[in-house]
Structure 1
Amino acid sequence: MAVIVNNTRTFHYVEQGETEIVELTDPNPDFSVEEVLNFYTTAYPTLTTATIMPPKVTTDGRISYTFASTVGTKG
């Protein structure tokens, strides 16, 4: 018998050079991870160049995605 598990997704945003992690709610469970990233670009413009880090499964079974900003300073 197959067991279907509905994992809840969590999203986090880390801006390059910063230590603060912003937790983002899942706007729509039907969105792909890329669609979630695009959804948040209006609130966080640096997400337009962000990298989607590989997902991690938390101890409570949630799937956690991190959007890491790749915008930095020259030098």
Structure 2
Amino acid sequence: MKFLTIIFVAITIISCFLGAMGDTCTQISGTYQFKDECKTKLYGDEGCKSACNTDCSGKNGYCGNGDSKTPDEDTCYCVN
């Protein structure tokens, strides 16, 4: 059982690392965004904030909430 736990943790860490490597901070409609950053529980709001802080020059990040400025709930939006 302990072995399975170690394997699960290793897979989780690797998938987070590889997922983060593929993310790019792109500017869409004047707003910097990470597409699909908020899609899974692995990232969510904390992963979004971290990605925006490191790759978008210290901007604050938050997941979309469906309004006109942040329409896609899977996307991380980076703002000043």
TM-score, with length taken from structure 1: 0.37
TM-score, with length taken from structure 2: 0.36
| Larger relative contact order, structure 1 or 2 (CA cutoff 8 Å, min sep 6) | 1
Q: Which protein is richer in strand relative to its size?
A: 1
